[in-house]
Amino acid sequence: MLTTKSLKFFLKDKTVASILIGSILINLAVWLNLLRIKKTTELIPLHYNIYFGIDYIGEWHKLFTIAGVGLLVLLINFLLSLLFYFKDKFIAYTLLITALFVQIILILSSLAIVWINI
């Protein structure tokens, strides 16, 4: 049974706190980075790869799916990490590190999308 006391104990772990803060800051940077793209009624490039170039276009608001998915991954991995922390810290740390890597990939993706659209 998870209580507020166990949540406080979980968040006092320096490894957990540092990974979680890093993930949150990077996700915030993804949101702020995507806000740099101007709202328009025209279709804009949403995805680019080195083999085919721009391969997905759509409305500007669909860009925020990237940041939303990152937030969802962060939330799910945080909750699972909290559940596993008191049974196996390795699994808890692995879940948090995975969330951090997802955030890093998403910030790189958002930087590329902003670079294409500006």
The pLDDT tens digits for 7-22 are 888 889 999 999 999 9
Residue 104 belongs to a domain: yes
Residue segments in the chain with a per-residue pLDDT below the cut of 50: none
Position 7 scores a pLDDT of 83
Residue 114 belongs to a domain: yes
Domain that holds residue 63: 30-35+44-118
d(CA 47, CA 57): 7
pTM metric for this prediction: 0.87
Residue 21 belongs to a domain: no
Give the total number of structural domains in the chain: 1
Residue 75 belongs to a domain: yes
Position 9 scores a pLDDT of 87
| 26 phi and psi angles, rounded to 5 deg | -65, -40
Instruction: Report CA-CA distances (Å) from 15 to 24, 39, 81, 90.
Output: 14, 39, 12, 11
Residue 25 belongs to a domain: no
Position 38 scores a pLDDT of 80
Residue 74 belongs to a domain: yes
Residue 2 belongs to a domain: no
Position 10 scores a pLDDT of 87
